[in-house]
Amino acid sequence: MQSADSIDGFFPLATHRPADVAALGELVREADRSKHALYPFGGRTQIGLGNAPTKQGSAIDMRGLSQIIDFPARDMTITVQAGITIDVLDRLLAPENLRLPIDIPFAARATLGGSIAANISGCRRLGYGTLRDYVIGISAINDEGREFKAGGRVVKNVAGYDINKLLVGSLGTLGIITQVTLKLKPRAEVQAMLFFGCESAELEGLLAKLHASRTRPIAVEALNRSAAAGTLAPRGIASGAPWTIMVAYDGNAELVAWQVRQVKEDLGRRSAEVRETTDVETFWTLLADAPMDESARLGFKASVLPSAIAAFLVKMDGHAERPLLFAHAGNGIVRGMTSRSLTQDQAVQLIVACRQQVAGCNGSVIVTHAPAEWKPRLETWGPPPADAWLMREVKAKFDPRGLFNPGRFVAGI
């Protein structure tokens, strides 16, 4: 047992760091006997996501479960315990020329289990999808302290219900993930990024041209001036324009070279107007970490139709609070944050404006981090969805005792 830990200012009784699955199971059974809740965490990189806890209990530090179970590299799969960090996982895969192409913030601290529970994704989701596309097997502890399994260790194992996808993004409310089998991708032979600036009036048309292009980018990012100034300018990428667009490609050298030439032609951009770089890994890290700056007072994530993203970005860039905006423009995902102090009222006004803007295109806005006392007014997850009843039914089936992360998920689940 370690010293007590806190989540949103709420202090569990103590923090435990089990060294194996058996010890974790016993902690769950003890919590059931004492009628306490359990709050699992990894590297705490996403600890601000969700509502404040609603029930006294204990924190479970999952970083003690970090073993490599099986790595048949030729099958391009790996099975590891959930407490392994993303950075360690990547260094393990690199000698075999393999990768998990998901951009996860603060990779040196973030654990695989925590990233799966929060369903983290980044720039390359346009080309490579999300964690749901890579988890082919999963094990977790249920509310009786017993380990259950779903999926398997081979890609073709598709028998039974797809519990894998149910646990991804469940924020630890259905069980505590202990072990994961991932399918992997080969590392790209070549990567390239192009950066160029554009005016607000150009943004919608330019994104439409990228969508219509014969090329297949793995990422299309749009950063407003304030976001680019803090993220790209220190690396020598500074367009000075209201928007900086980043387009990325990977694959074999011939294919990447053709796509770079072709997209310039499709966009009608002269070479002098475009900055290119092959130092791509640095920028993946920057673009993953920057929107999750832990010093920011407020962070949010908006999901809109890709066709509506330009209008959303221009509107929010003109808001009085001038948030920093980082958009996965090919997917309709926008991460925003404030770089200066806000009052609670100002934060509420910003989030309300975001939600009003996405309402017409069936979008949503969640708060990714904010002071705990602000969260009730901000409605962390937004208004309860129409299928909240179904989510409660699923929760009741998996965790009828209400042990795991009670109150922290959508609709107070």
Residue 211 shares a structural domain with residue 312: no
What ranges make up the beta strands (E) of 159-286? 176-183, 185-186, 190-198, 219-224, 243-251, 275-277
Q: Average pLDDT, whole number, for the chain?
A: 92
DSSP state of 252: S
Lowest model confidence (mean pLDDT) among 109-123, 152-166, 385-399: 152-166
Distance (Å, rounded) from C-alpha 40 to C-alpha 62?
7
Residue 242 shares a structural domain with residue 329: no
The residue behind tokens 């902690």 is: 27
CA 227-233-239 angle, 5° bins = 85
Region 279-289: mean pLDDT is: 90
At 2 the pLDDT is 52
Q: Is the pLDDT of residue 161 over 70?
A: no
Region 193-211: mean pLDDT is: 94
Burial of 104 (0-12, 13-18, 19+ CB in 10 A): buried
Residue 108 shares a structural domain with residue 50: yes
CB atoms inside a 10 Å sphere around CB 75:
13
List the structure tokens of 366. 């969640």
CB 191 within 8 A of CB 250: yes
**Cα–Cα distances in angstroms (integers) from residue 58 to residues 36, 215, 405, in the given order:** 7, 50, 10
Q: How confident is the model at residue 381 (pLDDT cuts 50, 70, 90)?
A: very high
Residue 176 shares a structural domain with residue 197: no
What range defines the domain where residue 230 resides? Answer: 190-289
Write 107-110 long-range contacts (CB < 8 A, 24+): 107/285, 107/288, 109/42, 109/43, 109/44, 109/45, 109/85, 110/42, 110/43, 110/45, 110/46, 110/85, 110/86
Provide the percentage of residues in the chain whose pLDDT is more than 90: 81
Residue 101 shares a structural domain with residue 247: no
At 259 the pLDDT is 95
What ranges make up the beta strands (E) of 71-188? 77-81, 98-99, 135-141, 147-151, 176-183, 185-186
CATH code: domain of residue 326 = 3.30.70.2740
Residue 208 shares a structural domain with residue 134: no
Length of the chain: 413
Residue 336 shares a structural domain with residue 254: no
Q: Using the CB atoms, write b or e for 31-66: b if 16+ within 10 Å.
A: beeeeebbbbbbbbbbbbbbbebebebbbbbbbbbb
DSSP per-residue codes, 16-77: E--SSHHHHHHHHHHHHHHT-EEEEESSSTTTTSSPPP-S-EEEEEGGG---EEE--GGGTE
Q: How confident is the model at residue 75 (pLDDT cuts 50, 70, 90)?
A: very high
Element (H, E) at 325: strand 324-328
Q: What is the largest CA-CA distance in the chain?
A: 69
CATH code: domain of residue 275 = 3.30.70.2190
Residue 355 shares a structural domain with residue 412: no
Residue 227 shares a structural domain with residue 331: no
Q: Is 152 helix (H, G, I), strand (E, B) or coil?
A: coil
Distance (Å, rounded) from C-alpha 81 to C-alpha 65?
6
Q: Are strands 147-151 and 185-186 parallel, antiparallel or unpaired?
A: unpaired
Residue 130 shares a structural domain with residue 26: yes
Region 168-183: mean pLDDT is: 96
CB proximity list for 42: less than 8 A, separation 6 or greater: 61, 62, 63, 82, 83, 85, 109, 110, 111, 112, 113, 114, 115
Element (H, E) at 207: helix 200-212
At 271 the pLDDT is 59
Residue 224 shares a structural domain with residue 348: no
Q: How confident is the model at residue 6 (pLDDT cuts 50, 70, 90)?
A: confident
Q: Is the pLDDT of residue 159 over 60?
A: no
Lowest model confidence (mean pLDDT) among 54-58, 77-81, 199-203: 54-58
Q: Which of 256, 289, 322 is the last residue of a domain?
A: 289
Q: Is 163 helix (H, G, I), strand (E, B) or coil?
A: helix
Distance (Å, rounded) from C-alpha 240 to C-alpha 233?
9
Domain count, the chain: 3
Distance (Å, rounded) from C-alpha 265 to C-alpha 193?
16
CATH code: domain of residue 108 = 3.30.465.10
DSSP per-residue codes, 289-305: HGGG-TT-S-EEEEE--
Distance (Å, rounded) from C-alpha 47 to C-alpha 231?
23
Residue 120 shares a structural domain with residue 250: no
- Amino acid symbol at 109: R
